A and B are shown apart, each in its own frame.
Chain A
Amino acid sequence: MRQDSQPGVSSAPRSRGFFAVGMILAVLLLVGVGETFLRYFPPTDNREYLGEASPLVGPYMPDGTLGVAYRSWEAFRDDNAERLAPYLPLDKSDGRPTWAMFGSSFVHMQGMLADTVRQELPRVRVFNLGRSEALVVRIAQARLLLEHGFRPERIFLALMPLDMAILGQQPLDTIRVTSKGAITYAPRLPPAPFGNLIQKSALVRTAWFRTQQHQGNPRFRYLQLHREMPKGLRNDASRLFGELARIGQEYAVPVTLLLIPTHEQIAKGAAFAFQDDLGPLCRDLGLDVCDPRSAFLGYPNKADLFIPDKHFAPPGNQILLRELQKHLHQEVVQGGGPS
């Protein structure tokens, strides 16, 4: 009988030993395969946090004020070729005043408002680039357009709390534009030694990212904007809208911020901390602010204002436009500029 097949106390530790060896072999093999794979093919949710190692490319460059700017006019034009084409050259005019309508996320929301303006106010030419863009990019676009001769009658920036959510999660000082022109973010890392391990291992890094703790403010939830505007976000808003106000004044183009209330605020009674904080802040910076909340709150059948995905239905967009026109008329009466 073979020595190692004899039953007895001595065979159990050997079995455990071989078991452990087998387990270590499997762990090393699979960890090696996984580590190699992730180094060459990082998951899509990691790519914004890989800095220069990110495969993302873009038309941007770093900017001291906004964090992001376009590398050049050509880069911006090529990135928005199809949607910008009808508006070129920028000084093209059909005799109608131009309203430059910018929104941030939710291209459908901003698109529907722009379409409502086109239908209801044919005397106005609407400039709208569509496509969801981060707020910083949208303001960078406005600045670039004005620098290259675009002179709308007025710039409108439609803003909802969700548009600021990305800044709430990733403050301006975490933005890193790579040499390939992509917008990435510096990941939040735990202290050493775990932080060092995250930087060295693609597997550990991915695990950290999947816990969502890598974000600049991992505890931020956009719904808290109904209750309060965090101090860091307020500072970033001051920087961004301060720049918007500056370029508006520099090129003598009035800028109106349209603070759009959310479904939660209109139909569910959520508070208006976002608008209550941002409105006065932006007015102090020199921007015109339109807050149409009372028209929505006073609407008898609030469910009619929304489509199932909580964007505004036509009645909602019509109210927005009506309130905007009333606001602009008041602005003109008070000497704020052309209507």
Chain B
Amino acid sequence: MTFTEPTFAWFILVVYGLWLLCRRVERNQLGLLLVASLVFYGFNRWGLLPLILAYAVVNWAIGCWLERTSRARLVLGLGVAFNLGVLAFFKYTPLLLGTLNDALIGLGLPPGPRVPEQWAIPFGISFYAFTGIAYMVDVYRRTTDPETHLGRYALSVTFFPHLVAGPILRPNEYLTQLRPGCVPTEPVAPLEACLLIARGLFKKMVLADRIALAADPFFSHVGDPTTSGVWALPYVYLYAWQIFFDFSGYTDIARGLGLLFGYRWPDNFNLPYLAGSISDFWHRWHITLSRFLRDYLYIPLGGSRHGWWRTNLNLMVTMLLGGLWHGASWSFMAWGGLHGALLVLHRAWQQVPFQAWLKGLAGPAGWLWRGACVLLTFHAVAFAWCFFRLTTLSTSWECIQRCFRFDPALALVGGANDASLWLTLVGYGLLTALACQFEVLREWATKHARPALAPLANGFLWGFGVVLIMLALLLSPAGKTSAFIYFQF
């Protein structure tokens, strides 16, 4: 089940209703949430439950062991090896076998074993593997105490709002709130929760799914003559927005649900397409993954402590592996490598004195320069998304070439010519701006004791949130929603 399915609506109503009844008794509350989370995960495939439970038990045991052992590094290594090994087995076996067989066939040799047709990557495994690694490493570094209670630890891993696609939480962002006496019994900021859930549903069901309807036919036929001459750039833009709305929509819903249960989790997105550089982009996009890669991969590799060339190498390795984490294909690795190369290029640009002068420009010239940086960064990211969307290197490159080589008569055809799509995007922007104005008004009115304006703004925002949820259900283009993009990771 996913957040946008009717089944989930019933699920959350029942679970939240029971939570409201039993939240004052800590043991009952934790038991309820753990059982509900396991039901949520197992609902699609019950056979996956032993896997996630194995992750929970092993990581918990490693955490306890780390506290007592004198060979902490070895024990940590075992734990990380388990997490990554199982992840790699499920995720990368088809890729490795496929590549091996292609090589054997290319050499004229008989192909090797093939992966069974029913092979499927357990959904969420990339996320809960990383959550486990973060826990074990933080225990090793003594930045968090090991959790002695298996049930509490298991809940920190399996809690359904963040289980399948993040945010990737640190122990001090969630696990510490499950410790005795710390478990919340009240929702946090219910209005914010309502607005987040509403915004997330709207982003996914109305915006991302509508873009998918328009753009998928193009991307399905990039490699063949059906789309010959069609201008690819509008579709590249559309996909950049689709993946943003899809993933940030999921995160909004996850964070909103977390707030309902009393947990405040970090945001995963901070206006990423307003980034002025590729480095800035990775501080704004999938923030919890970026910091995971920074703290648990880039820094242990040496970070920026060993000179220019080693730093760039560390960046490339981090981004290549980050790309591979997203998907088991060489195209994902290319996507990661492209971002790594852009980061290295950015670092080189930072060394150029002219760059500092441009950065220091003020007034209209400064705005122009910053605007140009934002546009350039957006286009670099958007072109890189081609490798993310199209799973082969050849079609990805073909797509980029078609941004510059096209028939002007076919500039805006197909889904890119759908007026309702562009209207929806503009309309969403305007509504978001309006809601932000009322949030600012509410804060100002509360701060300045304006007894009329504060409740007016409050009422507006509550009405906005509730009706936006209804509009998300009714304005979705086809009545049925597709899976979240990041669920496949």
Interface residues, chain A, CB within 8 Å of chain B? 4-5, 11, 14-16, 18-27, 30-31, 33-34, 37-38, 40-41, 43-45, 203, 206-207, 209-210, 308
Contacts and interface: CB of A to CB of B under 8 A. Distances in A.
A37 B462 contact: no
A255 B5 CA distance: 45
8 smallest CB-CB distances across A and B, nearest first, come from A22-B459, A26-B463, A23-B463, A19-B459, A22-B460, A41-B420, A45-B479, A23-B459
B463 A44 contact: no
Contacts of A15: 451, 454-455
Interface in B398-429: 419-420, 423-424, 427
B463 A14 contact: no
Given A5-B449, A31-B467, 15 more contacts: A4-B451, A4-B452, A11-B451, A15-B454, A18-B451, A18-B456, A19-B458, A22-B458, A26-B464, A33-B431, A34-B471, A34-B474, A40-B420, A45-B479, A209-B479
A contacts with B: majority SS: helix
Given A4-B452, A5-B449, A24-B463, A308 B475 contact: no
A293 to B, nearest CB: 27
Contacts of A5: 449-451
Given A27-B467, A43-B477, A19 B452 contact: no
B461 interface: yes
The residue in B424, B475, B477 that gathers the most chain A C-beta atoms within 10 A of its C-beta is B475
Given A26-B461, A206-B474, A43 B427 contact: no
B455 A44 contact: no
Contacts of B356: none
A37 B427 contact: yes
Contacts of A16: 455
A44 B451 CA distance: 46
Contact of A44 (B424, B464, B467, B478): B478
14 contacts: A11-B451, A16-B455, A18-B459, A19-B459, A22-B456, A22-B460, A23-B460, A23-B463, A25-B459, A25-B463, A26-B467, A34-B470, A43-B479, A210-B474
A23 B419 CA distance: 30
A207 to B, nearest CB: 6
A333 to B, nearest CB: 43
The residue in B431, B458, B479, B480 that gathers the most chain A C-beta atoms within 10 A of its C-beta is B479
B475 A34 contact: yes
The residue in A26, A27, A34, A210 that gathers the most chain B C-beta atoms within 10 A of its C-beta is A26
B459 A20 contact: yes
A84 to B, nearest CB: 21
B475 to A, nearest CB: 6
Interface in B114-133: 117-118
A18 B455 contact: yes
Given A18-B455, A210-B479, A308-B118, A203 B474 contact: yes
A24 B453 CA distance: 15
B449 to A, nearest CB: 5
Contact of A38 (B427, B466, B474, B479): B474
Interface string B461-489: 11110111011011111111000000000
Interface in B4-52: none
B474 A207 contact: yes
Contacts of B134: none
B425 to A, nearest CB: 12
A5 to B, nearest CB: 5
B56 interface: no
Nearest to A22: B459
